Structure 1
Amino acid sequence: MFWLRHSPGDGTAAVARAGSEPVRGPRRINTVLAGVREFLAHGTTLGTVPAFVLSQLYEIADERDLPPQARGEGHGLRYVAKARHRASEPDEPVGRASDEEVLALLRACHSARDRFIVLLLARAGLRRSEAVGLRREDIHFVLDAGVLGCRISGSHLHVVRRDNDNGAWAKSKRTRAVPVDFLLVQAYDQYVTERATCQEARDSDFVLVNLFRPPLGAPMPPRALNDLFDRLSRRARLDEGVHPHALRHAFASNAADAGAVLDEIADLLGHASPSSSQVYLHPDPQRLRSAVERVGALAPRRNR
């Protein structure tokens, strides 16, 4: 771990020295260690690596010391392998973009396409790669989706995993439908009008395409959204800048503030388990205050 932290790894003969400036952070170190562990564990399965190596990599424990409620189902004793070597990573949660920041980004947009992108992430909670992977057939912005052969009513869009030329990739294998509001529908209508002025874009099935720089009509790659939000943040004079993923956090938090429960938010975000959605929830301070005020004044309670 010391070598990973301080050795440059550029092929030179430089030696890691105590007190020298680190060249790798904790997250990168843990990623390398995880790869090494998996490689050696696979080697023990094949018989090319001695079995005792696993005891040097993992600390083996069982669940006998856990309370009954925390143990797994079944009568057999279960064992857990915990990595012995792991760098301590600082807790740096991703914050939610505030409503003020989203409005500032919208005001900084110079095109209908860019406004649609901001609202797509903020009002539908899509991941960056899901947004640029949308096809026109996925957009069902009509009052009666039945005319499109879709069983879902109301305006919505579909997130579908596909192999895309622009590198876009939906994280979940499961196709999901995301309801949308009139703001997103209106923004899309304006974008479609703008897009129609670009001859090269007319034959593309991708929703988000290059309109202002070559190659015109080509689908936008995921990294293009990072560049866009960097530009918008600078125009809006947002000191910290807003990352595209912060708008996904904002969507989940706003849904929770409006009364959505965890399983609803998980389904909207495309999470397999509601527990995965908890890190996306950043309650509004006023909602926290309201939760405390709902408790009411202390009153004597009868013993039962």
Structure 2
Amino acid sequence: MTQRDTEVQLTRYRTERAVLPLTGRSVWLVLDDETLEIMPEARDFALHLNGAGKSENTIRTYLPRVAVFLNWADTSPGCDWRTVTVKQLARFKWHLEARPALVEAATIGGRGERSTRSAGTVNQYLTAVFEFLRYCGRAGLIDQAVSKRLVEPRHLRHMPASFDAGERGQFRFARVKELRARETSRPPETLTAAQVGHTISAAIRIRDAFLLLLLSETGMRIGEALGLRRSDMHFLPDSTTLGCELAGAHVHVVRREDNANGALAKSSHGRHVPVGGEVVRAYRDAQIERESVAHATDSDYVFVNLWAGEIGAPMKYSAAYGLVQRAGRRADVNHLHPHLFRHTAATHWIENDTPIDVAQTLLGHASPASTSRYTHTSNERMRAAVERGAATVKVVE
């Protein structure tokens, strides 16, 4: 038996997908392989996330990470996850940093590949575990003292100009995680204009090309795109007949809890995103393609199955990810995923001097801090600034 097989067999907890009978939404649960029972604390946490309006993808991301923590605690001598200490969590953090990402692949039924986690990934694991323990503390499932000692008060030395510190400076303190991996600040990965163009051109179906174009021009999340209805597409010069006072072609992004495909807009506040003529023409062509497929026009969803699965049913996340990855491979763009188009659009807006508040509204960010990650300065812009400055310097010989 290989070391890899031994490590996989050590996993006691794994995650499985379940469907809520009332809503049809998917939720991920943690199973105990020893008893074949659902772990109640993790189940309640998943239902809490679902009730709080978190997307299926968020729950699917959190629960396997919680399972990794439970597996680690189960195999760590003297460690009980219900009474875990900061010192023990520091050991868990070291485990995440030092151990290849293998065992957690087994928690969701996969085999995975050995790879070292980045500091950002380690922090995402810690966030999921801290949120799980905080929920258990608030719900009375564990002693609240366990979750309270995971954070510490920290004095804010620098604050935004509009921040109110209070009369006695009482708001200059924030509660931050006790443990955090040190991340190297780096801009998000983006695509070049050529890569975006090649990927869209590599789409075999008109529907697929329209999806890629829409993502690249609007910067919307894939869940937002898959939740679009045809009534959200206001592509007339004047939309007053549709009950909308906004001028010009635009798309309304609306959060709906009852989408049949589980798609969910992250923000509860709706927004609209202007689009150009190329998107309007691509949408028209996609509608013509759709009308040629029997039973595909019955649904109000913009993106529906046309050639596989239940024809006319709204497209699910897995199908959308698959078509994006296939287009990327044909365009020789490795590891392409839908969110790269969002990163690319946001970076393009900021680099073209779009005010950050405008970019924030377009992206649907609740806080400007989320948008500020795109304000990095590229090496090309820094070099151009230095060269412009050098051109004004006169050297005296």
TM-score by length of 1: 0.81
Cα drift, residue 244 of structure 1: 0.8
Question: CA RMSD of the aligned region, Å?
Answer: 3.3
Q: Distance in 2 between matches of 1:189 and 1:199?
A: 18
Cα drift, residue 56 of structure 1: 4.0
Alignment of 1:39-54 (within 5 A): 39=135, 41-42=137-138, 49=143, 51=145, 53=146
Deviations 1:220-259 (A, max 9, x none): 0122221111111111222x23211111111112222333
Cross-structure match for 2:321? 226
Cα drift, residue 82 of structure 1: 3.3
Alignment of 1:143-292 (within 5 A): 143-163=237-257, 164-238=259-333, 240-281=334-375, 285-292=379-386
What secondary structure, in the 3-state scheme, does the structure 2 residue paired with 1:185 have?
Answer: helix
Cα drift, residue 117 of structure 1: 0.6
Deviations 1:70-112 (A, max 9, x none): 9852123344333334455676753111111111112211111
Cross-structure match for 1:302? none
* 1:73 matches 2:165: yes
Deviations 1:150-179 (A, max 9, x none): 110001110001120101101111111110
Give the alignment partner of residue 126 of structure 2, picking from 30, 39, 42: 30
Which protein has greater RCO, CA pairs closer than 8 Å, 6+ apart?
1
Determine if contact 1:252/1:281 at 8 Å carries over to the other structure: no
Aligned residues: 288
Determine if contact 1:96/1:282 at 8 Å carries over to the other structure: no
Higher mean displacement: 82-91 or 162-171: 82-91
Q: Distance in 1 between matches of 2:366 and 2:159?
A: 26
Cross-structure match for 2:151? 58
Cross-structure match for 2:218? 124
Q: Structure 1's 20 and 160: CA in aligned 2 closer, same or farther, altered over 3 A?
A: closer
Give the alignment partner of residue 9 of structure 1, picking from 8, 11, 17: 11
Q: Distance in 1 between matches of 2:268 and 2:349?
A: 24
Q: Distance in 2 between matches of 1:85 and 1:154?
A: 49
TM-score by length of 2: 0.63
Query: Structure 1 counterpart of 2:11, which letter?
Result: G
Cross-structure match for 2:230? 136
Determine if contact 2:187/2:376 at 8 Å carries over to the other structure: no
Q: Which ranges of structure 1 fall in alignment gaps of 5 or more residues?
A: 1-5, 300-304
Q: Which ranges of structure 2 fall in alignment gaps of 5 or more residues?
A: 1-6, 13-32, 35-70, 78-94, 105-116
The percentage of aligned residue pairs carrying the same residue is: 34
Query: Structure 2 counterpart of 1:123, which letter?
Result: E
